[in-house]
Structure 1
Amino acid sequence: MNMIKFSCADFTFPLLPHDKVLQLIRLLGINAVDLGVFEDRSHHYPSAIAQNPLQSGKKLASELQNIDMEVADVFFQSGAEPSIAAANDPDKGIRTKNRALFQKMVEFTHALGCGHMTGLPGVFHHGDGSVDDWKRAIEETRWRVETARDTGIVYSIEPHVGSILTDSETTLCFLESCPDLTLTLDYGHFIYQGQTNKSVHPLIPYASHFHARGGADGKLQTIVQENEIDFAAILEQFKKQNYDGYICLEYVHQDWEGCNRTDNVSETLRLKEQLEKLFMSA
């Protein structure tokens, strides 16, 4: 890792029209964007893109080129919440629809000129056996990795609160069962649950993308001054392992786990400045 590459999530600023979001990100001194494509709760819905993924991708790529921006990651979620139409849904019909939608999203990502996609691993379903949920999650994730790879796209999953992957040990077991799978790593989901930075560090070698925002025990998202994530140690490991992915400044604004209580413009700028200083001294 010879230099730090920043991106910013478009879902950091969901109340603005998308073109204004992109302009704001550029004003923050960032020239790459993470696109959130979440059904019913983002600027672009997967179901709408699926109508003509090639045209949608080329149109957005042109808009980005006009303001000298690129796409760092396409974050695909087939439902408004992780439990809705999850990758490992017990309903085979839903899983079949998810696969068709994922293929359209791969086409869209390729048309954008982006080489990275993020998805979710799946959840445990009430009334269903945990073993079955685990097996379905592995099966669908393997398929997604192979499908994306056929188009030259790296596929990663984000372990998160409420998913089947809530700690590093379980996540490592999942990675062992899914060859070539990578991670979009967000320490906040682990630190929030009271886990230590040290316990999460073994996941760093698997990271192809990274989400950065302030987080603390009991606080999924918080201001930089209250942050308990050891970004200094993370950046040091990134340098040692020649991490070449993006660091996405991923403050979000949504009514979930208190993620609507931060000034996202200010905290994004503060975190960017802090990470730049830490990187120089790492």
Structure 2
Amino acid sequence: MRLASADFTWPGLRPEFVFDLIAELGLDGVSMAFYGGEGGTPRTPQLIAQDPERWGERVAGELAQRGLGAADAFCVLSAQLAPLAVNHPDPAERAAGDALFEPFTRFARRAGSTGITLLPGLVFGGEPWSDALERAAEGLKRRVEVARAAGLRCSVEPHIVSTHPYAGSVIDTPEKVHALLERVPGLELTLDYGHFNVQGIPDREVEPLLAHARHVHVRGGARGLVQTKFADNVTDVGRILDVLAREGYDGWVEIEYVHDERPGCSDCDPIQEIQRFRDFIRAHERAAGRTQETT
């Protein structure tokens, strides 16, 4: 089981410094996020699109220099989420998003990632959920095909947007996730139990989704909190690892911590919590007789 951390855990630091930090933490790879627009990351999808091959070679070199792998490439075209969303009601917005996605696949391939994570879209205004779902399915069918043409797998992360007031994405419950997967052949999941646990949805209802996982996020979870410390975690991470092994999962496990003002996120020291989960996962895998892969 290869372990990674997200570079967006430390948004104010240079990407190269973050890569150094992740290597210092003894992890195997980096889950790289690219957020566009206001509040985005230093390296945006719009910047990448100007010369995707050159950026891919640069990032691949930065990772190789530190002995790290490209665990994932997370493409968020706008940090505000609604602009350029894959299921935006405006066809022009959807087309602009499609135009940015194709060069991003060339970048991700050159950088060494085997897949791309996308957000699944939103429910806009007071529209019926079914309308938002159908637009998301149509848009994601196109993205899956473009990714496949580049030799990449494509997944979406079921997620919520906020807790107070509550706002979800188009797939914020297991039932809604299954509905989308049924409509988009080849679409996989980037799965984070935390987006369900925060709503009070128990692990047992999330577990069937592991069969569709391309990439997995792990962090402390609890009802009402976006994330928790390792000591307060209620998510059964050991069982997640065991089910993944049974399913023949060959992807990465990303220990994802952030530090912001959302419930639970300002109470955690990302470095300490990443270390605690790193040590737990590796000890669990050794006890289960499963060897720890390295890059």
Structure 2 equivalent of residue 233 of structure 1: 239
The answer as to whether partners of 2:259 and 2:269 remain within 8 angstroms in 1 is no
Q: How does 1:1-282 map onto structure 2 within 5 Å?
A: 4-39=1-36, 40-161=39-160, 162-282=168-288
Partner Cα separation in structure 1 for residue 21 and residue 235 of structure 2: 26
Equivalenced residues, count? 279
Partner Cα separation in structure 1 for residue 126 and residue 176 of structure 2: 21
What is the Cα deviation at residue 280 of structure 1?
Answer: 2.9
What is the Cα deviation at residue 148 of structure 1?
Answer: 0.1
SS of the equivalent of 1:221 reads: strand
The answer as to whether partners of 1:189 and 1:220 remain within 8 angstroms in 2 is yes
- Give 1 or 2: higher strand fraction: 2
Normalised to the residue count of structure 1, the TM-score between the two structures is: 0.95
Q: Give the share of equivalent positions with the same residue, in percent.
A: 36
Q: Which runs of 5+ in 2 are unaligned?
A: 161-167, 289-295
Partner Cα separation in structure 2 for residue 263 and residue 43 of structure 1: 23
Normalised to the residue count of structure 2, the TM-score between the two structures is: 0.91
The answer as to whether partners of 1:14 and 1:253 remain within 8 angstroms in 2 is no
Q: Which runs of 5+ in 1 are unaligned?
A: none
The answer as to whether partners of 1:183 and 1:208 remain within 8 angstroms in 2 is yes
Partner Cα separation in structure 2 for residue 239 and residue 134 of structure 1: 31
Partner Cα separation in structure 1 for residue 84 and residue 265 of structure 2: 23
What is the Cα deviation at residue 115 of structure 1?
Answer: 1.0
Q: Which runs of 4+ in 1 moved over 3 A?
A: 254-258
Report Cα offsets for 1:127-185 as digits up to 9, x if no partner.
43433211110001111111101111000000001201111111112111111111000
What is the Cα deviation at residue 257 of structure 1?
Answer: 4.0
The answer as to whether partners of 2:2 and 2:28 remain within 8 angstroms in 1 is no
Structure 1 equivalent of residue 293 of structure 2: none
The answer as to whether partners of 1:87 and 1:121 remain within 8 angstroms in 2 is yes
The answer as to whether partners of 1:11 and 1:253 remain within 8 angstroms in 2 is no
